[in-house]
Structure 1
Amino acid sequence: MFDSFLFRFFRRSVLYRLIVIILLLCVIFGGLIHFLEEETFPTVFDGIWWSIVTISTIGFGDYVPHTVVGRILAMLLILIGTGFITNYFVTIARMAVSRENAYVDGSLPYRGSDHIVIVGWNERTKQLLELFAQSHLAKHIVLIDETLEERPMLSAYVHFVKGNPTHESTLIKANIAEAREVMITANQHKAENEADMQAILTILAVKGQDRHIPITAEILSSLHVKSAEHAGAGKIVETNKMISQHMYEQLFSKEGFVRK
């Protein structure tokens, strides 16, 4: 039974183990100093208070051992306890820095829910995030991209996940199962057919995680619209078709085209 307890204890995080050890030291040394110098430390709580103040190197001086044995106990507490306290603060600092680095480089999983996942980083995504920043949805955006080296500094609320959106591990990091909606943009660094195939594969991967989640997908070629719909996209944005239509309307509008 004791072996099982030790096994579970050492499987815990370093921070957890440090906290338990420090608390045990405070209780043990606090109890000992109370029994050794009961007049100076009337209660066990006073002893524990002294232990915490001592190993944290604060040293208020309100409780000080007067006997030789008490001072030897204090020296042992300082030599043993300060080492654990130092490790405790170093561990907290390391965890904070590690978490911040993971947040910037896109390796930190998203723990929220009811968020909007945007796949792909390009000029349209940038403009879309700027629009979201003006709304109440700004705090619920997760961006997935495998080309970015670090989180874009457009908004403090955008959570960046670096990775291939067709991979299950990437979608799990974006907590896709708890998302409100997914928006897939076309990869502008690839040819139209290749970009559309990647978008369709992403749709299938997302549906594999949650078949009920609404998906809006950008498709460049009209030939792949039906395939995207069959894959599970509820809404299709045909960018090239929209741009062509807009150019035609501008060309033949009264303001944009004058026949001479």
Structure 2
Amino acid sequence: MLIRYFVNTEDRKFPLEVIRLSQNVYNYFLRFPLVIRILFMAFFIMVIFGMFIHLIEPTNFPTVFDGIWWAIVTASTVGYGDFVPKSILGRIAGIFLIFLGASFLTFYFSNLATIAVTKQNEYLEGKRLYKGRGHLIIIGWNERSREMVEILSKEDKGKQMILIDDSLGNLPVKQPNVHFIKGRSNRDETLINANLHAAECVIITADPNKDELQTDMHTILTLLAIKGLNPSVKCIVEILTTEQVLNAGRAGADEVIRSNKIISTAMLGKI
């Protein structure tokens, strides 16, 4: 009776272990992207049908590989005709394979195309995370930003630039070395999406849509957010009002550009 108890106990444990292992494998499988899962299931179906046709018609399909080759060619509706089932059972298997395998392959390629289009749209709309290193971050889109992008693209085509702006709907330039991030520049999420921790330099331009004092306050707030996430990154800021120059330095600006003073001096020099 004691031996029978232990045997029964082991018998009860074995199915539980198999169930747990199957559940773990299934959960791990669900972590893969949908396209990878569909491709794996389609390939699994091809292998099963290839082995099956080899077993029922070993003369027409001498090896398992020949059966898998026939399954792939049949499911993709290519139909080379080099391997053809002769028996009724083999042809029935071919019918099921066409319906089942072709559906999986069609679903796979349609999802692949959808993912490609979605990623392209996310890139253009500024929703894609940037993963590069040693890049330049330009905050704010205006004529000064446009000039900087054009000049840097001509002088150093390999220099990667990240443009952060909240007012744009899509990437405003066609240069391949410019990556657009849509969002408010003083938010941690936006700066993290621009991979601020790996950036070489940040340039903060003044917002032309606000008055000068509000623009400078927004610039300093953005500077504080940047230095809070990456204190070592070099920051060049544009300040419009004289009284905010000192505050920009206190916030951690490495270089302060007083654009109004530069323009005034240039205009007076033309007199």
1:162 maps to which of 179, 182, 194: 182
SS in 2 for 1:106: coil
Residue number in structure 1 paired with 2:140: 120
Residue number in structure 1 paired with 2:60: 40
1:215 aligns with 2:235: yes
Residue number in structure 2 paired with 1:254: none
Gap regions ≥5 residues in structure 2: 1-20
Which of 8-17 and 34-43 deviates more?
Answer: 8-17
SS in 2 for 1:236: strand
The answer to whether the 8 Å contact 1:138/1:158 transfers is: no
1:52 aligns with 2:66: no
CA displacement 1:173-204 (0-9 Å, x = unmatched): 11111111111100010011111111111111
Post-superposition offset of 1:157: 2.5
1:192-231 aligned at under 5 Å gives the runs 192-231=212-251
Q: If the length of structure 2 is used for normalisation, what is the TM-score?
A: 0.89
Residue number in structure 2 paired with 1:255: none
Runs of 4+ in 1 over 6 A off after TM superposition: none
Q: CA 1:101/1:196 → structure 2, altered by over 3 Å: closer, same or farther?
A: same
Residue number in structure 1 paired with 2:32: 12
Which of 180-189 and 56-65 deviates more?
Answer: 56-65
Residue number in structure 2 paired with 1:30: 50
Structure 2 CA distance, aligned partners of 1:157 and 1:60? 45
Structure 1 CA distance, aligned partners of 2:115 and 2:178? 21
Gap regions ≥5 residues in structure 1: 252-260
Post-superposition offset of 1:8: 2.4
Structure 1 CA distance, aligned partners of 2:102 and 2:43? 13
Structure 2 CA distance, aligned partners of 1:78 and 1:147? 50
SS in 2 for 1:134: helix
Residue number in structure 1 paired with 2:252: 232
SS in 2 for 1:126: helix
Structure 2 CA distance, aligned partners of 1:232 and 1:216? 10
Residue number in structure 1 paired with 2:17: none
CA displacement 1:28-57 (0-9 Å, x = unmatched): 111111111111111111111111111111
1:131 aligns with 2:116: no
Residue number in structure 2 paired with 1:188: 208
Residue number in structure 2 paired with 1:175: 195
Q: CA 1:237/1:193 → structure 2, altered by over 3 Å: closer, same or farther?
A: same
Structure 1 CA distance, aligned partners of 2:39 and 2:228? 41
SS in 2 for 1:207: helix
1:245 aligns with 2:261: no
Residue number in structure 2 paired with 1:68: 88
SS in 1 for 2:132: coil
